[in-house]
Structure 1
């Protein structure tokens, strides 16, 4: 019911709702906005890091799957040279990482440095037969739980002082 009313992401990534909409989901989105803006909760997506499996569901350049930002941001000169910018991780790995996927060879300086750094980052990367999934960075189990979500919400809204809720 959420997707038809608020879009395919339910407003979770954009943290936006249709104007004038009220109800439980609007309260959830408002809480997420509060956590992001005032509670120190950061970007909601940062709690759900991508765990690459077969690489078919995530963008090589645009999703955060290696490091703490998209590869297009980390390696902008190589991104600008790439022929296939809208490629999945799986497709990029299957084709291979070589200068053949670039419009031209990297020139010296920053282009060469970024090429070497990106090549090193990808050198030992391998896909698995499992599907890609989202992790849960709040809990050591890497699996979402209501109690860990409650912990982060309470910590953001109530601070670290005061009485403990069990």
Structure 2
């Protein structure tokens, strides 16, 4: 008889303050696609977390973003041209994927004017972003450099993983 592996329940599994957590590169899509998506979700009665609406000035941003991810049932990740240039976005992505592995968090990637294969293979603007991340580590001492390189590898793995998920591809018309 086969036994089904049961995921360990956590307190955050039972508390959903948000239906949806939006992850996006603000400079790329805040005033365009993401704003329209957020408005449509809210008008449909879907309680949606968007960082500029939900975070109070002076709050610890990283902790509050992680809490919002933990208290959301679904994450919509808007992968745009410069998404990988933002350490904040990449840290969110890693946290979202951790959540998916532990409590069946639902993820919907939206490839906004980017090809999923560019995300997976980290070519084009994604390759440029990682070259800059690595360049920034050159000035660090050895221990911090090693930690930074490990973080960059987690980011790369997260992008490969999210690129393999079913999602929406929105390209220029």
Please state which structure has a larger fraction of its residues in strand.
2
TM-score normalised by the chain length of structure 2: 0.29
TM-score normalised by the chain length of structure 1: 0.30
Please state which structure has a larger fraction of its residues in helix.
2
Compare CA radii of gyration and give the structure with the larger one: 1
